[in-house]
Amino acid sequence: MTTSGSQLRDAIVDFIKNHPHCSSKQIHEGIRQEWGYATVKRSIQVLLSDKLIVALGKGKGTKYEISRSYDLLIPVDPDKYFQKEIDEREFSDPEV
């Protein structure tokens, strides 16, 4: 996994979090980065295989959303997690 590949996947996940039920074209246009559409599609496939996102529908009508298991599968930095007050701790916090 290259740094730019993980940056792209992070950008895709962030976009989908803020825009659930979006298409791959909307994701590509929404992240406004230097990556081509085919690269974005390949990264979406990686996220699907890692079960971080799910596809709704098929073909041109496919939409994407965050997987229900996302919070269980993302890595957590325990040091950052325990620096927060107990009431402020969340697994889905991108800062953790």
Residue 85: inside a domain: no
21 and 55 Cβ atoms separated by less than 8 Å = no
Residue 62 in tokens: 């496919």
Residue 86 in tokens: 């107990």
Domain count, the chain: 1
Largest CA distance in the chain: 45
pLDDT at 71 over 60: yes
Which residue range forms the structural domain that includes residue 64? 3-68
Residue 79: inside a domain: no
64 and 51 Cβ atoms separated by less than 8 Å = no
Residue 83: inside a domain: no
- pLDDT at residue 3, rounded to an integer: 47
Residue 94 in tokens: 């991108």
Segment 15-65, tens digit of pLDDT? 999 999 999 999 999 998 789 999 999 999 999 999 999 999 999 899 999
Separation between Cα atoms, residue 23 and residue 1, nearest integer Å: 24
